[in-house]
Amino acid sequence: MAWSFRGKVQLAGLLLSLLGWVCSCVTTALPQWKTLNLELNEMETWIMGLWEVCVNQEEVATVCKAFESFLSLPQELQVSRVLMVASHGLGLLGLLLSVFGSECFQFHRISHVFKRRLCLLGGTLEASASATTLFPVSWVAYATIQDFWDDSVPEIVPRWEFGDALFLGWAAGIFLALGGLLLIFSSCLGKEDVPSPRMTGPTAPPSYAPAEEFDGSFYLTPRPKNLFI
């Protein structure tokens, strides 16, 4: 199958969107949103995510405990839970619509115009999924910075720092944004693949008056004088 430029752009957008969606799901599940190292016990590291808090002790084990109440969480973690789950739904729906609107999906009952609209809607949903991923990740990072440089907290108190999940979340948001923009761009390309209504049927050859035979020669029947066009 020969891929057009529009089809290649769609394929790139689908792959980037799929990669961003997978990274976003992994970011939500990982507990490494925040990390805390204790100076008194360097062998012990605390990590906090959206669903649980864990204590990692080297050469011993990692013990995790789920949060008992949603309302007891900080505000940034509450909003992050909701937005990250919404991001997964938007990203998955955008992927399905974009696949149905791409050139690789051939179905004779779907018109080209409708497929372009599906691709445009899918790209818009992927861009929305990017926003709902970048916002909570950036908010948690901002809250972590505010707490780290809070002068009202004594210096001997340990401070939370960035976890690896935040960097993965930023990468997921960028992948989703690029994939959505490529899908939107592909739906705005030229309509070279849409058949023109003038070319839908074969063109009939011009009609001529029947030729008559006379003395071995052929001539065209003259047009009547009373024929007006």
Q: Hey, what amino acid is at 46?
A: W
- Which residues lie across from 217 on neighbouring strands? 214
pLDDT tens per residue, range 20-31: 999 999 999 999
* Residue 13: both structure tokens together: 């957008």
Q: Hey, what amino acid is at 206?
A: P
Angle ∠(167,181,33) on CA atoms, nearest 5: 15
Q: Hey, what amino acid is at 65?
A: K
Number of helical H runs and strand E runs in the chain: 4, 7
Residue 128 reports pLDDT greater than 60 = yes
Cα 156 to Cα 82: distance, rounded to the nearest angstrom = 34
Find, among 137, 135, 25, the residue nearest to 91 by Cα. 25
Find, among 52, 56, 46, the residue nearest to 163 by Cα. 46
Q: What is the pLDDT of residue 160?
A: 86
pLDDT tens per residue, range 65-117: 898 888 888 899 999 999 999 999 999 999 999 998 887 766 666 677 888 88
* Architecture, CATH, for domain 5-34+75-189: Up-down Bundle (1.20)
> DSSP letters of 2-37?
PPPHHHHHHHHHHHHHHHHHHHHHHHHH-STTEEEE
Residue 14 reports pLDDT greater than 50 = yes
Q: What is the pLDDT of residue 199?
A: 40
Q: Show me where the domains of the chain are located.
A: 5-34+75-189
For helices 112-148 and 164-187, the axis angle rounded to 10 degrees is 160
- Assess contact for 188 and 149: CB atoms under 8 A: no
**Helix spans in 71-161 (H):** 75-101, 112-148
pTM of the model: 0.77
Q: Quick one: pLDDT band at residue 197, thresholds 50, 70, 90? A: very low
pLDDT tens per residue, range 131-177: 999 999 999 999 999 988 877 777 777 788 899 999 999 999 999 99
- Assess contact for 140 and 86: CB atoms under 8 A: no
- Going by the DSSP 8-state scheme, the letter that residue 76 receives in this structure is H
Mean pLDDT of the chain: 81
